[in-house]
Amino acid sequence: MHSFGYRANALLTFALTILALMCAMASFSDNLNHPSPTAQVQVLNINWFQKQPNANDEISLWDGIIPAKENAKFWIHTSNKYRFIDQGSNLRGKGFNLTMHWHVMPKTGKMFADKIVMSGYRLPDEYR
């Protein structure tokens, strides 16, 4: 009969061999997959304007989720879900900024966000 030490050594050697084989298979399978580090990107287009000296308003004009790199280039013509109404004619002739926000959600790791601000737009002095 084999002693307890021989049996423990055989079991430990077998377990380490299986673990090394699984590690090698996982490392090899990484070479077969095409890397795609980003799961999805969320994009928002926000209209920002200043009504009073200390009051700022933002309106989300459009938002969407880009699930794949192939869908990253798009041309949209959309109508808003909610009407943009100037109550009391406080926005006539006021300047506003268009801001494009995006949030990148990787498959693993930290999510990050960025934005582009496009300024120099003005609302008309007269409405229809």
Mind listing the pLDDT tens digit for each residue in 13-39? 999 999 999 999 988 877 776 666 677
Same-domain check for residues 66 and 82: yes
Is residue 27 in some structural domain? yes
Predicted pLDDT of residue 36: 65
Predicted pLDDT of residue 50: 65
Is residue 127 in some structural domain? no
Same-domain check for residues 23 and 54: no
Range of the domain at 53: 38-122
Same-domain check for residues 27 and 43: no
Is the full-model pTM beyond 0.85?
no
- C-alpha 72/C-alpha 66 separation (Å) is 6
Q: Collapse the DSSP code of 12 into the 3-class scheme (helix H, G, I; strand E, B; otherwise coil) and give the result.
A: helix
92 vs 52, higher pLDDT: 92
- C-alpha 71/C-alpha 65 separation (Å) is 10
Q: Which two tokens stand for residue 37?
A: 């580090």
Same-domain check for residues 117 and 55: yes
pLDDT in tens, 60-119: 777 788 877 777 777 777 776 767 777 767 777 888 888 888 888 887 778 888 888 888
Is residue 87 in some structural domain? yes
Do 39 and 105 form a contact (C-beta atoms < 8 A)? yes
